[in-house]
Amino acid sequence: MATDLATVASPPPATPVERFRLHPRPNSGTGLRWLNDLREAGLDRFGRLGFPPARSEAWKYTSLRALETLPLEPVAASDRLIAPSAYAPLPLPPELNRSRLVFVDGVFDPAQSRTAALPAGVVLAPLRQVLAERSDLAEAHLGRIAEGEGQAFISLNTAFVDDGAVLHIPDGVDLETPVELVFVGHAGDRPLVWHPRILVVAGAGSRATVIEHHAGVGGASYLANGVTELALGRGARLNHYRAQRESLQAHHMAMVTAHLAQDAYYDNFVLSEGAKLSRNQIHCVLNGSGVTCRINGAYMVRGRQHCDTATFIDHAYPHCASREVYKGAIDNQARAVFQGKIMVRPDAQKTDGYQLNRALLLSEHAEIDSKPELEIYADDVKCSHGATAGDLDADCLFYLMARGIDRDSARGLLIGAFLNEAVDEMEHEAARDGFRTLVADWLKGR
Amino acid sequence: MVANVETIDQVRAVTEQKYKYGFFTNIETETAPKGLNEDIIRFISAKKNEPTWLLEWRLKAYRHWLTMAEPNWAKVGYPPIDYQDAYYYSAPKMKEKPKSLDEVDPELLRTYEKLGIPLREQELLAGVEKPAVAVDAVFDSISVATTFKAKLQEYGVIFCSISEAVEKHPDLVRQYLGSVVPYSDNFFATLNSAVYTDGSFVYVPPGVRCPMELSTYFRINAENTGQFERTLIIADAGSYVSYLEGCTAPMRDENQLHAAVVELVALDDAQIKYSTVQNWYPGDAEGRGGIYNFVTKRGACRGRASKISWTQVETGSAITWKYPSCILQGDSSIGEFYSVAITNNRQQADTGTKMIHLGRNTRSTIVSKGISAGRADNTYRGLVKIQPKADNARNYTQCDSLLIGDRCGAHTVPYIECRNRTASVEHEATTAKISEDQMFYCQQRGLSQEDAVSLIVNGFCKEVMKELPMEFAVEAQKLIGISLEGSVG
Amino acid sequence: MLEIRNLHVSVDDKPILKGLDLTINAGEVHAIMGPNGSGKSTLSYVLAGRDGYEVTDGTITFDEADLLAMEPHERAAEGVFLAFQYPVEIPGVSNSSFLRTAVNAVRKHRGDKELDAMEFLKLIRAKAKQLGMSDDMMRRAVNVGFSGGEKKRNEILQMAVLGPRLAILDETDSGLDIDALKIVADGVNALRAPNRAMLVITHYQRLLNHIVPDHVHVLAHGRIQRSGGRELAEHLEANGYADFGSAEAA
């Protein structure tokens, strides 16, 4: 009787902020004061920000109203049950030797993970383990790259930062075997939330390839609220790819921040095909001259999917180049959003910046909202951007049909070619082939 | 000492050359008390003998305005404007409405002569082969003269001040005023709806090709006075009109507000070509003074196959906030926006267009050239929106920015919203500087640095300049050179 | 093989062809000549089935079948091949995979076995070489970055590989220098066969020195104005189209 009264007396919290305040704090890294402060600051900031308001410029075309009302719950130990074969692995060549860390509902799963022979000094481990054994590594970078100010989801992730992947490569080391980070969304009967964090510190002159794979099982409804922090030292080269294939009922937030030191070379590609609502946010800070920053991607959505891409490339030093090619195919009632910004600060002379977003509307109810933006304060620069929207080119279609290819096949061929033009920007061959396969598979589902 | 005086003289000479329209006309004016309230609005309305519906409309706008916040999304910065610290009505004193130019204060006529805007028709007609241009001259808050009215009347074209139109053609005004830019549209347009004092009115009847260019020349003269003009142009079915707008203001240390509204309506097969050379006082090199130019210009292509074409050369104003737009309602209607915006010293411009495609087979073209020099900021901001019913809509947008010097900014912020698969939207933008090779080549051929810049920038803007009517093109070209003086070297 | 009867075609509600009749039998090479704007390209597009060309009257039968009822790819599979005046660029699709997809689509329609990669390669290698096309051109995206001559050779290669029954060459000589013209003409001549017909559309007689037609027709004002042998082409070369009035005067 008394319990019943208590339930009646305290209605469920109305806002996401109130609800998240009730989530238990992570228990990793106990005793680490800096970590505790970091989390508290994150929760504080999130408390002040709340979910981005409907009219904010950064979220102009993406409504979070449905997510706001979702009664998200933290992951409990009993939630982590998954057979290794329950998710479709990334179609990478089997002979490709690679390390793999697997996370199920945001929690590291040692049973499915394996580590290839790594060069001396390389650390590749789940965040919880690093916090326990090498907290110095985490302390030096965690929360120092991803900017939480004005960023509700980054702040939220920081408030509950617990598990994830850490890759630390010493100066000059070439990590020949790619690192595959698999995040499986599995959640059962109620909507869960987790906040994975990836930290990659690539020492001067080091080389590495990191392939993220986000897969969902069945029609699970959850929020995967991920933050990735990357620090590339002088002359470091990092290939960083992501295949986003979350469950079609899932919400996927991925906020990447990359700090690129002088002469660093960063090759990023994001393929988005999953999730009910996804946000692919990339923020690159070019912290020295001679940096090459490549931010490319493809999105393929159907049904009522909503896919939002927001990128920001910040040129602060001279003689840097950035290139961004995003291509998308939008079918049925799906909607895609692209907001890309290139900033060239006053000292960033000789900047070479290029940005392109091209979207195919494949059905009469599909929608694209595109906002490519240049903000330039240096005069000796070469910057351009372009955006297009519309259906397949009628001349191309007719040409193919005049050669005997039926309309459907011709359309498929052209859509594939269109998307693969972006995929071909990927520099790692095996990964590129794998991603091309994903495009082909998606087209088969038409 | 001597050197100092010389220096001052030199500086003055240079500055005056830069903005040769910066003089002030000493003329007796009638001014409403400072500040903004319902009484002032009633005063303005009474001054103009307005019908009750118009006064009510103004008051409705004013009350709505009180609930609105000044927009802050544009990339411009300025100290808060005190809307109570300005005059909302200032007019040259005249006993009666002048019946002919002979009754107009000669000082006023001299002002327009000095500005190069002749108001005497005979002078115009005597002037060699130059095609005649009909002018409506707006001085501070009111229209002082409109030329060629009689000749235009032969064609059925109505060209007069909007105050006169309210009196003589109330039905037309009532039907169209606020139909493109409603009184509640945005902060500055709403303010304008409440306090607008004059402006031009044009009606071109069905099937008539307006026999001459029409133009309005806006002059802000009085101190601490805002100019709020309102222009309404209606091109009835199958008609054509080309309209030009020019403007200048004296050099003053304080900022003056200019919040105009222009509404265009094109019915079936009608065409309106609207050209602007905006040369309001831009402020001095340190950013003191200058006009705040917050303008709402919008055209509705209501009819089938109608066309509205905006061409603007924006060189003046301390701040420019303006987005001449087209609502493409009629099937197969066409919207165009050609823009050159030059900012130098501390000027800030946030300008662009909106193309709203509603009808089928609608087409729009946007060509924007932004030139930024000194410590100025120049932003292109545009929206291309394709609504679900706009089958086969087409848009092509080209935005080019040119930076002169390393302390200025050039920004491009296009919004593209496409909700129709049969549409095709294409946006391209580039940013570059004048190449050293180009400069050297010109200089080697004997051009001074400034002439070379002027030449190259004019080339950069050519696509837009060729859209200007001849009479304006030459002046605009010179203006480009003058606006960029002191930007190199 | 091809019977066109009283063909009327409009583009954007503007009549272009106004009662065109033409019969082509297997083994024949026909040339259609005419001034600019006479409707030559319209005819080729209507035969291939491009959108936007509205047939307002008349019939086209191809081997007893109603050609106008077929989709463009069905016409291609039935053996109608159009060598485009302006071959279309298709970024992202390699020339060889495009051609293989087309060949297999057509073979499938005809009930032939589809070719695997090796068989296909064998088929095109020799033909590509005859036309002076490098392996590199086969790897590149369809027509992207091709010169005018390369594009036209690519058209003839496709024609050779697809083996059509009726080949329509739309202004194939435009933009070609004399050497390229010869290569293209040789390629076409090699495909002349008793069971195959050709329709050569051209403004100038030049091409007809290399691809010698059996019949020549003059198209003006949307109709065939005169038909004859190759001497008609020579007459036109000497006298121009003045006899038929310029298109603008129509």
The H or E element that residue B382 is part of is strand B377-386
Q: What's the pLDDT score for residue C177?
A: 85
B271 — pLDDT class (breaks 50, 70, 90):
very high
Q: What's the pLDDT score for residue B320?
A: 93
The chains found to touch C (3+ Cβ pairs under 8 angstroms) are: A
Residue B108 sits at φ, ψ, to 5 deg, of -65, -45
pLDDT in tens, A257-278: 999 999 999 999 999 999 999 9
B13 — pLDDT class (breaks 50, 70, 90):
very low
| Rounded CA separation C97/C103 (Å) | 10
Domain contains C235: yes
A53-92 residues touching C, CB cutoff 8 A: none
| Rounded CA separation A264/A409 (Å) | 42
Residue A212 has pLDDT above 70, yes or no: yes
β-strands B29-31, B90-92 pairing: antiparallel
Q: Which residues of C20-35 are buried (b: 16+ CB within 10 A; e: fewer)?
A: bebebeeebbbbbbbb
The chains found to touch B (3+ Cβ pairs under 8 angstroms) are: A
A341-400 residues touching C, CB cutoff 8 A: 393-396, 398-400
Q: Torsion over CA of B330, B336, B341 and B347, rounded to 10 degrees?
A: 10
Q: Which residues, in sequence order, are bridge partners of residue A325?
A: A296, A356
Mutation target among B368, B431, B436 for the A interface, most CBs of A within 10 A = B431
What's the average model confidence in pLDDT over A348-366?
95
Q: 0.80 cut: is pTM over it?
A: yes
Residue A114 has pLDDT above 50, yes or no: yes
Q: What's the pLDDT score for residue B11?
A: 41
Q: What's the pLDDT score for residue C95?
A: 87
Mean pLDDT of chain A: 92
The minimum CA-CA distance between A409 and chain C, rounded to whole Å, is 9
| Rounded CA separation A58/A62 (Å) | 9
Which candidate from C51, C92, C158 shows the least CB-CB separation from A403? Answer: C158
Q: Is A414 on the interface with B (CB under 8 A)?
A: no
Which chain C positions have a beta carbon within 8 Å of A417's beta carbon?
90-93, 141
Cβ-defined contact of A405 to C51 (cutoff 8 Å): no
Which chain A positions have a beta carbon within 8 Å of C76's beta carbon?
401-405
What's the average model confidence in pLDDT over A198-212?
98
Q: What's the pLDDT score for residue B101?
A: 66
Mutation target among B418, B427, B488 for the A interface, most CBs of A within 10 A = B418
Question: For B412, which residue in chain A has the nearest alpha carbon?
Answer: A374
Domain contains C61: yes
Strand (E) positions, C64-183?
Answer: 65-66, 80-83, 90-94, 141-142, 166-170
Which candidate from A362, A371, A376 shows the least CB-CB separation from B431? Answer: A376
β-strands B319-322, B348-357 pairing: parallel
| Rounded CA separation A62/A68 (Å) | 12
Residue type, A31: G
Domain contains C216: yes
Cβ-defined contact of A414 to C93 (cutoff 8 Å): yes
pLDDT in tens, B372-427: 998 999 999 999 999 999 999 999 999 999 998 888 999 999 999 999 999 999 99
Cβ-defined contact of A409 to C101 (cutoff 8 Å): yes
| Rounded CA separation A272/A185 (Å) | 15
The H or E element that residue B484 is part of is none
- C175 contacts C87 by C-beta, under 8 angstroms: no
Q: What's the pLDDT score for residue B144?
A: 67
Q: What's the pLDDT score for residue C235?
A: 85
- The sign of the CA dihedral B428, B434, B436, B439 is positive
Alpha helices in A92-231 (DSSP H): 127-133, 135-141, 152-159
| Rounded CA separation B443/B455 (Å) | 11
What's the average model confidence in pLDDT over B419-444?
87
Residues whose CB falls within 8 Å of the CB of residue A419, separated by 6 or more in sequence, listed in order: A298, A300, A327, A328, A329, A439
Q: What's the pLDDT score for residue A187?
A: 67
β-strands B240-248, B271-278 pairing: parallel
Which chain B positions have a beta carbon within 8 Å of A371's beta carbon?
413-416
Domain contains C58: yes
Q: Is A404 on the interface with C (CB under 8 A)?
A: yes
| Rounded CA separation B329/B264 (Å) | 13
pLDDT < 50 positions in chain C: 247-250
| Rounded CA separation A414/A395 (Å) | 11
B419-448 residues touching A, CB cutoff 8 A: 419-433
Strand (E) positions, B259-347?
Answer: 261-266, 271-278, 290-301, 307-314, 319-322, 325-328, 334-343
Q: Is A401 on the interface with C (CB under 8 A)?
A: yes
Which chain C positions have a beta carbon within 8 Å of A402's beta carbon?
48-50, 72-73, 75-76, 81-82, 84
**Which CATH number fits the domain that encloses residue C221?**
3.40.50.300
Q: What's the pLDDT score for residue C248?
A: 40
Cβ-defined contact of A364 to B431 (cutoff 8 Å): no
| Rounded CA separation C34/C16 (Å) | 13
Q: How many residue pairs from chains A and C have C-beta atoms closer than 8 A?
A: 82
Q: Which residues, in sequence order, are bridge partners of residue B225?
A: B87
| Rounded CA separation B146/B158 (Å) | 11
Which candidate from B403, B404, B423 shows the least CB-CB separation from A390? Answer: B423
B90 — pLDDT class (breaks 50, 70, 90):
confident
Mutation target among A327, A403, A415 for the C interface, most CBs of C within 10 A = A403
Number of residues in chain B: 489
pLDDT in tens, C41-55: 999 999 999 888 999
Cβ-defined contact of A390 to B425 (cutoff 8 Å): yes
Question: For A378, which residue in chain B has the nearest alpha carbon?
Answer: B406
Q: Which residues, in sequence order, are bridge partners of residue A216?
A: A185
Cβ-defined contact of A421 to C91 (cutoff 8 Å): yes
Residue B16 has pLDDT above 70, yes or no: no
Q: What's the pLDDT score for residue A9?
A: 56
Cβ-defined contact of B414 to A373 (cutoff 8 Å): yes
Q: A159 is written with which tokens?
A: 């408030």
Which candidate from B408, B422, B433 shows the least CB-CB separation from A380? Answer: B433
Which candidate from A395, A405, A420 shows the least CB-CB separation from C88? Answer: A395
Question: For B389, which residue in chain A has the nearest alpha carbon?
Answer: A364
| Rounded CA separation A60/A52 (Å) | 10
Q: What's the pLDDT score for residue A213?
A: 97
Mutation target among C101, C144, C162 for the A interface, most CBs of A within 10 A = C101
Angle at B56 between CA B53 and CA B59, to 5 degrees: 155
Cβ-defined contact of A417 to C92 (cutoff 8 Å): yes
The minimum CA-CA distance between A302 and chain C, rounded to whole Å, is 22
The minimum CA-CA distance between A415 and chain C, rounded to whole Å, is 10
B362 — pLDDT class (breaks 50, 70, 90):
very high
* Structure ipTM: 0.89
Q: Is A58 on the interface with B (CB under 8 A)?
A: no
pLDDT in tens, B189-236: 999 999 998 889 999 999 999 988 888 887 777 767 778 989 999 999
**DSSP state for residue A283 in the 8-state scheme:** E
Which candidate from C82, C88, C90 shows the least CB-CB separation from A417? Answer: C90
Q: Is A405 on the interface with C (CB under 8 A)?
A: yes
Domain contains C222: yes
What's the average model confidence in pLDDT over A370-399?
93
Domain contains C32: yes
- B359 contacts B390 by C-beta, under 8 angstroms: yes
Q: How many domains does chain C have?
A: 1
Which chain B positions have a beta carbon within 8 Å of A349's beta carbon?
406
Domain contains C210: yes
Residue A95 has pLDDT above 50, yes or no: yes
Do at least 3 CB pairs under 8 Å connect B with C?
no
Which chain B positions have a beta carbon within 8 Å of A361's beta carbon?
418, 420-421, 423
Indicate the range of A88-97, A256-265, A412-421 predicted with least confidence: A88-97
Domain contains C130: no
